Structures are given as C-alpha cells and as structure tokens.
Structure 1
Amino acid sequence: EEVFVGSIDQGTTSTRFIIYDRFAKPIGSHQVEFTQFYPQYGWVEHDPMEILESVRLCIAKAIDKATAEGHNVDSGLKAIGLTNQRETAVIWSKSTGLPLYNAVVWMDIRTSSICRKLEQELSGGRNHFVEACGLPISTYFSALKVMWLLENVDSVKEAVEKEDALFGTIDSWLIWNMTGGKNSGVHVTDVSNASRTMLMNLKTLDWDESILKTLGIPEKILPRIVSNAEIIGNISRGWPIHGIPIAGCLGDQHAAMSTYGTGAFILLNTGEEIVRSNHGLLSTVAYKLGPGAPANYALEGSIAIAGAAVQWLRDGLGIIKTAGEIEELALKVDSSGGVYFVPAFNGLFAPRWRDDARGVCVGITRFTNKSHVARAVLESMCFQVRDVLESMHKDAGEEGESRNDKGEFVLRVDGGATVNNLLMQIQADILGSPVVRPSDIETTALGAAYAAGLAVGIWSETEVFGSGEKGGEKPTVFWPFIDEEVRKKKVESWCKAVERSLDLADLAL
C-alpha cells in the first residue's frame, strides 16, 4: 500500500506543499510566492487571506502533479505536517473568520517605540522577561505586535471587548481555517511557535500570566499550546484533502535547525536543559515530539536579513532579474573589491540586537561595479552566520557541535539560498570550516512531515533521527580555500562596517 505524508511550508515570501512517500522522498510539490506589503518605512505586512489561498492552491497543484506521476495520493495520504514563518502576528474575528488587520511580519519594526518605552519602565530593561521566556524585548517577537494592534486598530480593540478576537501566529491561523474556521475550527499553536511570542514560559510550556499582565494582553485571545507531534484535528470539507489529520506543527527554523532563507537562523540543540546566553543568543524550545514527550531546548542565533537582501537587489534595485542570477553576477569578480554590505534593513538581530541599525554599503570607489555589490551581499550573509556561531561557541563550547572524522567543526546547512554554490564556498572560507549541504535542501518541510509521520505511526524516532541522507545521495561538501591571515582581515573589516551601521534609525524624515 502506498503511504504519503504532506507538508505545508508557509514561509515569509512563498508557500509550498510537498508530498513525501514512506521513504521520505518527495514525489510531488508546488510553490507560489505571495505579496509583500511595505505600507511605511520599516513596516512589513502580509494578507492572511492571500496566504490561506496560497496554501489551498499549493495543496491542489502538488496532488495533481503526484497523481499525474501515477501515485495514488487520494487514498495513501495519512497525515499533514505544517511548518511556518514564526512570530508573524494575526488577529481575526471568531464570528466572521476574517482578519481584523493584515498580518504584521516578524521583521516589521513599527513596535520599536513600544520596545523603548518598556525597556525604560521595566526594572530588568531589555532583558526583563528573559528568565521566564528566554527572549529580550525586541520588535521581532509577536507580543509587541499584539500590543501595537490593541493600541492602534479600532476593530481589534472592539473585537477583544466583545470576546470575538482570536490571536495566532501563521500556524494558528492556518490550522483554525483548515479545521473548520468559524464552524468550530481548532485554535492552537505549538510549543516552538509559542516560544517565539515572548508570552510562553519556557519551563511550564504555558502562557506566562505575569508577562500577559505586564503587557496587557488578554489570555482569552490566545491559542491552546500543543506539542509538535500529535493529532491536532482533521481537515474540514472545502479543502482538497478533507478528513486527513493535521498531526505535526513546528516553527520553520525548529523543523530544520540551520536555515538560509529570507533570514538565516541557526539553532543548537541543548537537550532537556535551558541554556541561558551571555552572548546575544536566544533560549528557545527546539521541539517536543508528543504530548507526553520531554521538551528539547535550543540556543538560537537569528539573522533578520539573508536571502531578503538578494530579493532587494532584484525588486528594489533591479540589478538582477531573478534571485538565481546573483551567483553568476558575483562570479564576474574574484572579490568584493573592498566593499562591505551590512543588510540592517530593519535593525540587526543576533548577536547585537540593535534596532537602531540601518543598511550600509561601505568601501565604494569608482572601481566598484554591480558584481562587487552582489558579492558583498552574499558575503554579508556569511559574516552574520560567523558572528552567530562565535556566540554559540562562547555560550556552549563544543557541546552539540557537529564534527567530521578529522575532528573539524562542520556547518550543516539547508534552505533555499543554499543552492548558491558561491554562497556556500564563501561561507566555508569565512568560517575556515567545511560546509555540508544535503541533497534535499528543503529540510524545513521534511521536518514537519517527520513530526506528522511520528504522530500517526508512519516513522519511529529512530528512523527520523538516524535518517542521515535520504535516498543514498551524498551531500556536497565545501572546503575553505583562503588562508587564516586573509580571513582575519576580512572579519575585522566586516566588524568595522557593522559599527558604521549603528545609530542610524533617525535618518528618515
């Protein structure tokens, strides 16, 4: 009998649906980009209804493709997993099922004045809630976005007063709609997404009453918190796959652990222990694979802008026509010609946490051309990853680090941007360590499929964690070529450029 698991991967700029067979091999997929809204300086929004429709379309098209290849998906599909962009906040009406405002995206910085105010008023300043939730006060997290919506959007205020408002990150919005919506949809989130709201207590894995009280967020609008691998509810009629259980849900970075996408995110699993960072990293939930399973925690380094800088070259400047063209353009030169690019479009995340930073491009001369700029953009991703890995090493030592047969540190990567061979080579050079890219780079979607498959008994934990490379295909390894002296000089220059990007938030009139 053919057995399949579907995975919804709802990211920051695109949605995809991938169908996996019993051996975790993808047999059908479909992906669509959706609209990014930038209504004001520093604001980023999505239309929740467009996201919902993008999911519906991807499911239908992926099933059509797999069926055309001769797979009997209709009878073989056993479960759906979901992975999503984290922190992005949606508030909608329970009675109409419609959003009360656009989704406020994780990289949006409209809440910086709320952050400043809280930092000044609360005794612990920026780290006031770190002990409870593992996160500093930052524009990045959902709680501040909810505060902004409560303060600034009348329809949200009214709906909260009438007890008609529901809040959720994108996972909650999708699950509620897919399990019935206003006709008794299931209102839940999972521990990994909840751990990014700034409202969940890391130890109890429940909403933290004192944080809610301090921030004035009513608990009744919040979803119930569930584990990453359990049957949440069945998909309702009106969807291409009704009756199938949604059985896995993880925030996108937790499904993969080191991802180069719109942003870049690296998680180091610290086991069942919560490790506190002294070097600008976040303590977060890695996963909890079942209602009775223990929670695994992680240290995370979050980088706001990685692939998004490439999209900016494409959409903002028109230097390239497709994201894939950046590699060819950057290969026309053998270095960035002394140009350094700091993509602090919405401030800097880990390890600096400076929302007053703005993007800078330094070292420009008459010699500089667009190839140098393209290369500097790729290098900026790699320098940021190096900064995060250094902080991890300071916080956790060699614990949990991946090493090869020679005992060298190895960075294992995934995500859409890793198809770029030049990016991977630059990353190896800047780290001075090998970089390993799996044959299937979409491990985020696979992680969600695994969680769902675990919940319905298709795979065991041994199969999932001992899985290595699927289908026997060997990973690609990128070895560092530049010498230590050059590497050191480049890192010093990068740090200089980062210094230049700070304290620039008030430039916009």
Structure 2
Amino acid sequence: MAPSTKDLIGSIDAGTTSVRFMLFDEEGTVVDYHQLEFTQFYDHPGWQDQDPHEIVDKVNECIEQTIAKVEKKGVYTRKDVKVCSVTNQRETTVVWDKASGKALTRCIAWPDTRTAHTVKELAKKHPKGVDAVKWETGLPLSTYFAATKLRWMLDNLPEVKKAHDEKTMLFGTVDSWLVYNLTKGAAHITDASNASRTMFMDLRKQAWDPKLCEFFGVDPDILPTIKSSAEIYGKVEEGALAGVDIGGIVGDQQAALVGQKCLSPGEAKNTYGTGAFLLYNTGDKVVDSHNGLLSTIAYQAGPHAQPQYALEGSIAVAGSAIKWLRDNLQIIKEASEVDCAAQVEAAECVFVTAFSGLLAPVWDSTATGTLIGISGFHDKRHICRAVLEAAAFQTKAVLDAMEKDSGVPLRALNVDGGMTNSDVFCQLQANILGLAVERPAMRETTALGSALLAGQAKGLFGWDLSRPETLKRVNMAGRDAFEPKIDEAKRKELLRQWWRAVERSRGWHEDSV
C-alpha cells in the first residue's frame, strides 16, 4: 500500500565514524539519504578525538545533498520535510564557548580510554569503588561515559578549566552540539536517553543530580536542559531545512530499540556492528543489574510520558572478528565469504573472541582470544563458523543475564547491523538462543527510531509509541524470521562447550590484574 501523504521526516544519524541524513515516509521507508565520513584522530595509544566543527559541516552537507537528490527526482520537495530528528554516538564529549559557539577542544569519542587513571582516582574517593554512582546512574565508573572524559579535560586542558571556572563554557554530547548549531545557539538541550549516559543524571528523577556534579567536580550550570525524546526543541535556522522543526532526539542504541519497535517489556534488539549492543526493554521501572549489565533510559516519548528503561549489555567483538579473518588472517577476501560456514554442519571447535578481554556478563580483562578444539581435520570453513557462533554464544550469555535481572522472559530477538546481512549467521543465532530471530528488510533502524519519536512529537501519521498498533505499517515489508532448527539437548551441549572454552580463556593476562 502506498503512503497516503507526502509528509516526510528527516533523521540526522551522527555515528562514530560517519554522519548521514535520511528521509523517511509514513511507512518507515527510506526515500533518500546521503552519508559522509569524518576524520578520526588517534594522537596517542587509546585516544580517539574528533573535530566537532567537522561533524557539523558534514551534517549540513548531508542535508543539502539529500534534499538536492530528492528534489531532482521530482516526487518530493524540501517543503515536504515536516520535522528533523537527531540520533547520535553516545558519550562522546564536546565543550564549547557559549559566547562564540566555538569548540574549546576536539571531542573525546566514546571508545577513548585515556581516562583510565581518572577512573582509578575517582574510584578511590568512594567506598564502593567503581560502583560509586551506580545506584543513581545505572553505570559503573568507566572510561566509557561522558563524566570521566569531561573530568580529564578539566584536569589536563587549561583552556577548558579556565572556561569552566569563569562560567563561559557549555558541555554536551553530540546531540546537544548539533542542536545548538542547527538552532544557532537558541537551544542547549539533550534528551533523557543521552543524559543517562553522562553519569550526571539521576536515572529515576531524569534530572541532573547536584551530588553527582559535586563528585565529578563539575559546575551544573554548564549542562544542557534535559528534555524528553519526543518534543519540539527549536527550528533549523539556515540551509535547505530552514524553518523546519527539530523534534525527536535519542542515543543511537536506544534509537535502534525504538526503530525495531521493541516497545514492551521483554522485547530486545541486538545491533551487530564492530561489537554488539543488546538493549532489553524493562518498561517503566529501573532494573538494577546484579549480572554486570547497565541500566539506562531507553526513551521518553513526550514531556509528560513515563520514561521507559532498558538493560544494556555490550559485546566487544562481533563484526570485527570477521574483519580480522579477512585482513589479518586473510583466509577470506570479502566479509560475505564468512558464509562458507554453512558448508560444514558444525564448527567442531570453539572460538572465544576475547581480543581485549571479555565484557558482559563475564567482565574479565585478563581473558584472551582462544581457539580451542582444533585438529588437522579443520579448515577455514570451520573457523568461519566458530567466529559466527562466538557472537551468537556471547549474545546468549548477555540475554540470559538480562532475563535473570528483569525476571521477564525474552519472546524474540530483533536484530540489525552488518552481520545480519548473513542468513547463515541469523540462523545460527536462532539455533543457539532457542528463540526466533527477526530481521527487518530495511535495517536503518537507528535513524528510523529517532524519526518515529519526531513523528510523534510533530503529531504525524498518528504515531504513538504507547500504542504500538499505530506503528503496524512501519518497516514491515520483507521482514524475515529465523526459527530454531536444533533441539534443546543439542543447544545445551553447544553452550556447555562454549562455557568450557570461556573458562580456559580467562586469567591468561595475569599481570594485568
């Protein structure tokens, strides 16, 4: 059925290495898009910087190029774009001068680990150590989150400390920075999902916590105003979208949860990229993890809506293991060749891809990559299968932890990301989970998630996230469901072998304890 209106929603998807601008219609179909990469700076081991002004410039260029493409086709014009949303790499930290609007330094990107010493010193300040702020924020002290990155800037960059102390500085994650620039400084805001990744926000109150700010030594006046994930924040002030409302902001992994329409407790998605990010909807209650997971806000669908929460688990290595097979071992020439795994009935070996330790739910930085059970019988097909199974086993481990924490059984797993282009992998994942794995044909679920929130904020198409039936036509074309094809006894044996391999991988780097 064709869309009944020409109204479009724009989505700015500001990822870790590239930005995109996408246009969606009322069925969640991508009308057109443009994507550009931006520079990553690796000045020292463990560092990853970005130029905040380059990000803005690339976003503006993507908007201009997308509008030019769509108008050239003659079906839509820029006037059909009714609202523009933003989804973004989370935790990446930006500071800028509130008078000039110029960045004071480069962004510190979310994977950056220079703050390890900062984390260690902060942990010493509290009897709970790395769990010092976990009850309030749902997060352990870590190099991952924005507060430790900002603390490092204040301790190591005199220009940042001076601006902070003189109250001429503003702070934000990438969503805040983009909206500030799109509105020409009229809006210094963030949404609840991004705020929940800073370690400055009380997870239950959705408000900046003065005690948390004091703990990190940060002036709360530099922080953006926390808004819901679905309201109008201002207007784009110039360019092809001048005059268009900005509405719908959400962090990228939470956006994928929304884009997959995982809107009820017990629904989950996994995005298989370089690593893998699992989010599990826990409804309107914060679930405190006792199994090594993070508690986070999933989204807040309007200023008066009850926030929805999620448990999150991260897998460090997923698609990057396939890249390792291609680039380091060179046993495949293209990533798609990993599907040769289907030519053998079983891997007959286990690969624990702990290239930099294991994350949730094991949390062992001393673990190492381990390929075990090999013999002269094995060839590259078995190794490829073991790599695919490794991501599937780790997903099973995280989802089991999520069920223990939440008490709500998983009904199906919604998947997206590059690895899900492989039918072989999706079937292996279903087999190992013992659950259906559901994959949409249109897998731009991150951009779609922010578009859904913007559509609700603008009152378009009758979309209402509290009533999932209003989204029943969205992104339904060509969905695939992979059902388990092995019995429970076989599944248990595979999992037993996996955990045996995990135990053998642990403690290898003893000197790093």
Letter in 1 for 2:294: L
Aligned with residue 179 of structure 2, among 175, 182, 188:
175
Matched residue of 1:413: which SS? strand
Does the 8 A contact of 1:8 with 1:17 survive in 2? yes
1:45 and 1:480, CA in 2 relative to 1: closer, same or farther beyond 3 A? farther
Matched residue of 1:158: which SS? helix
Aligned with residue 443 of structure 1, among 442, 445, 465:
445
Does the 8 A contact of 1:231 with 1:246 survive in 2? yes
Q: What percent of counterpart residues are identical?
A: 44
What aligned pairs does 1:25-424 form with structure 2 within 5 A after superposition?
Answer: 25-180=29-184, 184-237=185-238, 239-257=239-257, 258=269, 259-313=271-325, 324-328=335-339, 330-331=341-342, 335-345=346-356, 347-355=357-365, 357=367, 359-362=369-372, 371-398=381-408, 401-402=410-411, 410-424=412-426
| Residue 337 of structure 1, CA deviation | 5.0
Letter in 2 for 1:254: Q
Larger mean CA deviation between 158-167 and 385-394 belongs to 158-167
Letter in 2 for 1:248: G
Matched residue of 2:250: which SS? strand
1:344 and 1:332, CA in 2 relative to 1: closer, same or farther beyond 3 A? same
| Residue 96 of structure 1, CA deviation | 4.2
Does the 8 A contact of 1:107 with 1:304 survive in 2? no
Larger mean CA deviation between 72-81 and 214-223 belongs to 214-223
- Whether 1:11 and 2:21 are equivalent positions in the alignment is no
1:72 and 1:39, CA in 2 relative to 1: closer, same or farther beyond 3 A? same
User: Residue in 2 aligned with 1:465?
Assistant: 468
Measured in 2, the distance between the counterparts of 1:360 and 1:49 equals 42
Letter in 2 for 1:229: A
Larger mean CA deviation between 10-19 and 483-492 belongs to 483-492
Measured in 2, the distance between the counterparts of 1:421 and 1:127 equals 40
User: Residue in 1 aligned with 2:266?
Assistant: none
Measured in 1, the distance between the counterparts of 2:71 and 2:136 equals 48
- Whether 1:2 and 2:6 are equivalent positions in the alignment is yes
| Residue 255 of structure 1, CA deviation | 1.6
Does the 8 A contact of 1:310 with 1:326 survive in 2? no
Measured in 1, the distance between the counterparts of 2:380 and 2:230 equals 47
Letter in 1 for 2:482: F
1:194 and 1:304, CA in 2 relative to 1: closer, same or farther beyond 3 A? farther
Give a deviation string over 1:89-134, Cα, whole Å, max 9, x none.
Answer: 2223334434333322222222223323333431122222122111
Letter in 2 for 1:226: K
Does the 8 A contact of 1:232 with 1:246 survive in 2? yes
User: Residue in 1 aligned with 2:436?
Assistant: 434
Give a deviation string over 1:369-396, Cα, whole Å, max 9, x none.
Answer: 5555444333332222111110111112
| Residue 298 of structure 1, CA deviation | 1.8
1:315 and 1:85, CA in 2 relative to 1: closer, same or farther beyond 3 A? farther
User: Residue in 2 aligned with 1:407?
Assistant: none
Measured in 1, the distance between the counterparts of 2:41 and 2:331 equals 21
| Residue 334 of structure 1, CA deviation | 5.1
Give a deviation string over 1:299-334, Cα, whole Å, max 9, x none.
Answer: 222333333444455566666665x43534555655
Does the 8 A contact of 2:351 with 2:369 survive in 1? no
Does the 8 A contact of 1:342 with 1:498 survive in 2? no
User: Residue in 1 aligned with 2:457?
Assistant: 455
Measured in 1, the distance between the counterparts of 2:459 and 2:155 equals 45
Letter in 2 for 1:465: P
Measured in 2, the distance between the counterparts of 1:138 and 1:433 equals 33
Residue segments in structure 1 that go unaligned for 5+ positions in a row: 403-409
Aligned residues: 494
Matched residue of 2:247: which SS? strand
Does the 8 A contact of 2:332 with 2:338 survive in 1? no
Matched residue of 1:301: which SS? strand
Does the 8 A contact of 2:188 with 2:225 survive in 1? yes
Give a deviation string over 1:394-418, Cα, whole Å, max 9, x none.
Answer: 112235x32xxxxxxx212223432
Does the 8 A contact of 2:455 with 2:463 survive in 1? no
| TM-score, with structure 1 as normaliser | 0.88
1:243 and 1:89, CA in 2 relative to 1: closer, same or farther beyond 3 A? same
| TM-score, with structure 2 as normaliser | 0.87
Q: CA RMSD in A?
A: 2.8
Measured in 2, the distance between the counterparts of 1:155 and 1:503 equals 42
Measured in 1, the distance between the counterparts of 2:240 and 2:230 equals 23
| Residue 52 of structure 1, CA deviation | 2.3
Residue segments in structure 2 that go unaligned for 5+ positions in a row: 258-268
| Residue 266 of structure 1, CA deviation | 2.2
Measured in 2, the distance between the counterparts of 1:55 and 1:492 equals 47
- Whether 1:23 and 2:24 are equivalent positions in the alignment is no
1:122 and 1:505, CA in 2 relative to 1: closer, same or farther beyond 3 A? farther
